[in-house]
Structure 1
Amino acid sequence: MKTPSKFNWMTLLVIPAISMVFLPFGEEWYGYVLFLILAAAFWRGMKLASYRGLLIILQHGCVCLLMVFFSPWNCWYGIYPAIMAGHLSSFFRITAVNVLLMIVYTLTASFYGAADIGEENWAWITVLIFLLGVPYFLRSQQLYYEMKGELQGANEEIIRLVKLEERGRISRDLHDTLGHTLSLLTLKGELIERLIPVKPDKAVDEARELQEIIRNTLVQTRKLVSDMQTVCLSDEVIQASTMLESAGLDVQVEERADDIPPVIGKILGLCLRECVTNVLKHSQADRCRIILHNSTGSYILEVEDNGRGLEEMNVQKGSGLFGMKERLAMIEGRLDIESVSEGGVKVTINIPMVDVPVKEVTG
C-alpha cells in the first residue's frame, strides 16, 4: 500500500509572497515586516516541533496587528498558524489555540470597529470559522494516515506469521509423513540384504512390500506438495463440495461474502479443508451445509452436519482443531463448536474485517 507523499506546506507562501509585489499595504512598511515575520515563523514552526506553540502565538500576533492596522479581512493570514496548529500533538492543544484565536481575533476586529453591535460587516467571521476548523481537519488526517500505516504494518506481520505457521506445518508434515516412512524403508532394505543369502523367497516378498511402501510414499508426497500450494477460498469451497458429494453426502453451499482479503481467504480455506476432513472422518453424517457470508464487521464461515455430535466425535481433543485455532489467533479470529439440536455439529469461524488490503500470501 502506498501512502500519500507529504505535502510541502511552504508552497502556500508563494501566492501571498507574489502579492507583496502589488504593495497590498501601500507605503506602510511595517505591514511587509509583519508579513515577513509571519512567513518566517511559519517556515520555522513547520520545521521545529519543540517551538511550535510559541511560533503559533507569534503568528497570531502578526495577524492581529495586520487586522488592526489595515483590515479585519487580513484575518485570512491566520491560515498559516491554523495549519501549524493542525500539527500539534493533541486535540486538547488545538482547542486551546482555537479558543485563543477566537477571543483575540474578535477583540481585534472590535477594536478596529468592524464588529461593533449594530454593524452589518460580520462577513469576515466566516473566515474565522474556517480557520477554527482547519486544525481539526489536519489533525484528523494525520491520525488517519498514522492508523493506516500501523494497520498496514499489522497486516504485514500477519502475513509473516502465516508464512511461519505454514512452514512449521510443512515441517511437521514432512517429519510425520516422510521421516517415519524413510526410516521404515531403511530397515526393510537392511532386512532384504540379510535375507537374500539365506531365504531368497522371503527376500522377494519383503522387496515387493518395499515397493508398495515406496508407492504409498510417493502418493503421500504428491498430496503433501499439493497441500503446499496457495489456497484459493473459492476453489476450496468447490473442492469441499465435490469431496462431500463423492462420499454420498447431501451438500448445501451458500456463498454471500465479497472482497475477502487474500490472507483471510487463505486461512478460511485451510479451516474449511480441516472442517470437511472432520466431517468425512468422524461425523458419519449424510448431510452437510457450508455457509460463507459477511456479518457486521466480520467474515463468517459455518460448516454444519447432522452426524454423531460432539460427545461421540470427541472433536475437542484433536481433529486438527488446534491448528485451526492457531491460524485464527494470528488474525484475532474465533472458532466456535456447538451441538445442533437435531443432532450433529456446527463449526462457526468468525474473522474480523480489515479495511486495508493485504498482499497475496505465498509459500
Structure 2
Amino acid sequence: MITVLFTASYLIMIYEDLSNKLMLRRMLLGIHFIGILYFVELFNASHLMFFFYAAYIIPYVFQVKKKSIEVFMYIIAFAITIFIIAMNHRDYLLFMAPMSVVIILVMLGNFKLLESKKLQDEIRNQNEHINTLIAEQERNRIGQDLHDTLGHVFASLSVKSELAMKLIDKDVDKAKEEIASVNELSKEALMKVRSIVDNLKIQSFEEEIMSMHTLLDNANLLFEFKNADRAQSLSPTKQSALAMILREAINNVIKHAGATKVIGELIEDENGLSMIVEDDGKGMKKVGNDDFQSIKKRVHALNGQFDVHLLNKGLKMTVTLPRGDETL
C-alpha cells in the first residue's frame, strides 16, 4: 500500500498541474516523504536516494522559492531520515553521509539554475523591449526625415511641373527653365532619399567612435578612446545603445564642461563590460539626482549601472553593462 501511494503521489506531482492546489500539493509531498521514511526504516538506508526526486520536483515542477513550506518539509523529512540511518543503519552511514551532501547540493543547485534561467528570461525580455523601442524610434525618425526633407521638394516639383505645362505653348524658354528646375529638384530628392537610406544602416561601436573623432576635432577637442574593439562582444542593438550613451556624454562635455580633452575606454571582465569617459573640464560641485537623467534612462533600459565621479579637474563617468546570454 505504501509503495502504491508513494508511486501515485510521485506521478501526480509530475504530471498534474498543482500550481493552484496548494494543500493537495503539500499532502502529496508529505505522502512522498512518509514513503521514503518507511522504506529507509523497514528496508535499508539506500532508499535515501529517493530524495533526488523531490530535489527536482520542488524547484522545477512546483516553482517555489527556497524559503517555502515545501522546502521546509523537505529539510525536516531529510533530517529525520538521516537520524533513522544513524540510529538503525550505521553500517550505511559512512556511504550515505557524503551522498546526503550531494543530494542537498543538487537541491540548492537546481534552485540556482532556475533563478539563473529566470534572470536570463528577464534579460531576453528586456532586450526584446529595447529592440521594440529602438525600432519605434527609428520609424518615427524616418517618418520625420521624410516629412522634413522630401515634403517641400515634391510640393515644389508639383508646382513647377504645372507651371511648365502652362508656359510650354506661350513661353518655350521659360518653360525649359522650369523643366530644368524640376530636373534639379528631382536629383536633390534622390540624394536626400539615399542619405536617409544610408542613415538606416546600424553602425558598429567602432564606426561610431570614428564619427566621435570627427565631431570632437571640429569642436577643437582632443579625443582618445581605447579598446573600442571590445564592443564586438555586444549585440548590434546594444552597440548602438552604448554608442548613443557615449554620444550624449560627449555632447554634455562639448556644451557644459569647457574641456580640452576627452578620454574613453572599454574594460571587459567576468562581470560585464564597462565604458569609462573622462574629461578635463570644469567639472561639477556635486552630482544631483536630476543630473544626467537621459543617460540614466538609457543605462537603466540596458539593465546597467551608471556612476559619476568628481575629479580635481573634470568628470569621470562609468557605464557598466552586465553579462547576458550569448552576448552582452
- TM-score over 0.5 for the alignment? yes
Aligned partner (choices 314, 322, 325) of residue 353 of structure 1:
322
After TM superposition, list the pairs within 5 Å mapping 1:177-326 onto structure 2.
177-193=149-165, 206-241=178-213, 251-256=223-228, 257-258=230-231, 259-269=233-243, 289=262, 291-294=264-267, 297=272, 299-300=274-275, 302=277
Correspondence 1:38 to 2:6: yes
Deviation at 1:177, TM superposition (A): 0.7
Contact 2:262 2:279 survives alignment (8 Å): yes
Kindly provide the CA deviation profile for residues 170-218 of structure 1, in whole angstroms up to 9, marking residues without a partner as x. Answer: 1111111111221123233344455566666665555554444333333
Q: Partner residue of 1:122?
A: 93
Structure 2 residue runs without a partner (length 5+)? 284-291
Contact 1:98 1:132 survives alignment (8 Å): no
Deviation at 1:94, TM superposition (A): 4.2
Length-normalised TM-score, structure 2: 0.69
Contact 2:223 2:262 survives alignment (8 Å): yes
Kindly provide the CA deviation profile for residues 63-117 of structure 1, in whole angstroms up to 9, marking residues without a partner as x. Answer: 22222222334323333334333444121224411332144214433553x45xx
Amino acid of the structure 2 residue aligned with 1:140: K
Q: Partner residue of 1:14?
A: none
Q: Partner residue of 2:286?
A: none
Length-normalised TM-score, structure 1: 0.64
Query: Separation in 1 of the partners of 2:322 and 2:166?
Result: 62
State percent identity of aligned pairs.
19
Q: Partner residue of 1:22?
A: none
- With over 3 angstroms needed to count, the CA separation of the structure-2 counterparts of 1:228 and 1:85, relative to structure 1, is closer
Contact 1:299 1:351 survives alignment (8 Å): yes
Kindly provide the CA deviation profile for residues 323-347 of structure 1, in whole angstroms up to 9, marking residues without a partner as x. Answer: 999876754679999999989xx89
3-state SS of paired residue (2:227): strand
Deviation at 1:122, TM superposition (A): 3.5
Query: Separation in 2 of the partners of 1:340 and 1:348?
Result: 10
- With over 3 angstroms needed to count, the CA separation of the structure-2 counterparts of 1:297 and 1:207, relative to structure 1, is same
- With over 3 angstroms needed to count, the CA separation of the structure-2 counterparts of 1:34 and 1:326, relative to structure 1, is closer
Name which one, 1 or 2, has greater alpha-carbon Rg.
1
Correspondence 1:156 to 2:128: yes
Contact 1:56 1:85 survives alignment (8 Å): no
Q: Partner residue of 1:61?
A: 34
Kindly provide the CA deviation profile for residues 158-179 of structure 1, in whole angstroms up to 9, marking residues without a partner as x. Answer: 2222222211111111111111
Structure 1 residue runs without a partner (length 5+)? 1-32, 310-320
Aligned partner (choices 47, 59, 65) of residue 90 of structure 1:
65
Query: Separation in 2 of the partners of 1:325 and 1:193?
Result: 57
Aligned partner (choices 107, 116, 139) of residue 167 of structure 1:
139
Amino acid of the structure 1 residue aligned with 2:241: I
Query: Separation in 2 of the partners of 1:180 and 1:347?
Result: 45
Query: Separation in 1 of the partners of 2:84 and 2:259?
Result: 83
Deviation at 1:62, TM superposition (A): 1.9
3-state SS of paired residue (2:93): coil
